[in-house]
Amino acid sequence: AMPTVRRVIFCLVSLGSIGSTVSFAPLKSLANYPSFKGIASDKGVVSFVRDAPHHVSFAPNLRSKATPRHLTIDQAELNQRIARFYDDSSTLWEEVWGEHMHMGHYGEAGTEKKTDLKAQIDMVDRLLDWGIGGDKPPADVLDVGCGVGGSSRHIARRFGSKVTGITLSFLQCEHAQQRSEKEGFSDNTRFLVADALSLPFEDNSFDLVWSLESGEHMADKAQWLSECHRVLRPGGRLLIATWVHRATTEPSCDHRENRQLILSERALLDKICRYYALPAWVELADYQAAASALRFSSICTADWTAAVAPFWPVVWRS
Ligand code: SAH
């Protein structure tokens, strides 16, 4: 039989080129976050499942099956740190910022005056406009790295879609569910604790896979993109907005190995990695290469560094 050709569209927006326009300082203020202390490493086991409250739904592959192959000890440990980071920091973020855990969009040139909440909502809308435009609205959506579900509910509201959100953090999953119940979205949003590198969904399940500032946490970009590709229906779309470092002529999927980044840039990226539980940074071309290797069609990218530049200074002031 002929192999089925599944054309799946890839759209990616880069948010910030380290070393040029975006400044991530002052990182020091994060040093007191509880999540950076005493992270237990339970070798080879996804042990954050253990402490889960009952009312959080598990993705079955995290509860019952053996450790997935991609979960080398490093990946398992990284996933624990990510879960811990968001378990520890989300409540405070929600108190100060609300349900959106991502940058704001201040107009193409970053010059529009608006409240920061409005800028965050505009970010979701501009990304949907850019990635979907006037095409048929997606019926089934996967929000990869959903935080407390800000985008999930926004997409459900705008398109009437059914949205599934996944996160590694039990606390976020719980808060996302509570917020959906409160706001009347229980029927069209659901949230699971699940790993984006090993998605607990059938092939061809979604029309849109949405990732807003979660890609930077994925150590194996190719594995992640291939999982997204697998769960998308033919004609479906992967829409990503993520942090990347500035372009070089030797993309390497690892900022530490990239000799074109100067030492101070690599040192800054290392710092950000430690604070935010991130693996090595990549550049836009790394994503493009991974997407072409997976035969995504219509690969489009854009650089929104300028649009989000006003956001960081505001975060640090808060
Ligand atoms: N998209 C949300 C949250 C961004 S924060 C928003 O914009 O509000 C990053 C999110 O990615 C967190 O919810 C974190 O749990 C999730 N994440 C990181 N790595 C993940 C992984 N491997 N699998 C699933 N979720 C992941």
Q: Tens digit of pLDDT for each residue in 34-90?
A: 222 222 222 221 222 222 333 334 444 443 344 454 556 578 889 999 999 999 999
Ligand 1 contacts CB of residue 217 (under 6 A)? yes
Q: What is the pLDDT of residue 78?
A: 92
CA atoms within 13 A on the CB side of 65: 14
Ligand 1 centroid to Cα of residue 169, in Å, is 8
Ligand 1 centroid to Cα of residue 137, in Å, is 23
Domains located in the chain, CATH noted: 7-15+82-251+264-317 (3.40.50.150)
Q: What is the pLDDT of residue 8?
A: 77
Q: Which amino acid is at 133?
A: G
Q: What is the pLDDT of residue 264?
A: 86
Nearest atom (ligand 1) to Cα of 101:
8
Ligand 1 contacts CB of residue 101 (under 6 A)? yes
Are 152 and 191 in contact by the 8 Å Cβ rule? The answer is yes
Query: 280: alpha, beta or left, given left = phi > 0 and alpha = psi -120 to 50?
Result: beta
Question: What does the buried/exposed string (b/e) look like for 123-154 if buried means 16 or more CB atoms within 10 Å of the residue's CB?
Answer: bbebbbeebbeeeeebebbbbbbbbbbbbbbb
Q: At which residue do the structure tokens 């993109």 appear?
A: 225
Between strands 162-167 and 140-144, the pairing is parallel
Q: Torsion over CA of 278, 279, 280 and 285, rounded to 10 degrees? A: -90
Ligand 1 centroid to Cα of residue 5, in Å, is 30
Reading the block at residue 249, the tokens are: 């002529």
Q: What is the pLDDT of residue 35?
A: 26
Q: At which residue do the structure tokens 């598990």 appear?
A: 58
Nearest atom (ligand 1) to Cα of 224:
22
Residues of the chain with pLDDT under 50: 1-4, 17-67, 69
Nearest atom (ligand 1) to Cα of 213:
4
Query: Bridge-partner residues for 210, per DSSP?
Result: 143, 239
Q: In what order do the strands lie in the sheet with 162-167?
A: 189-193, 162-167, 140-144, 206-212, 232-245, 9-18, 297-303
Ligand 1 centroid to Cα of residue 65, in Å, is 22
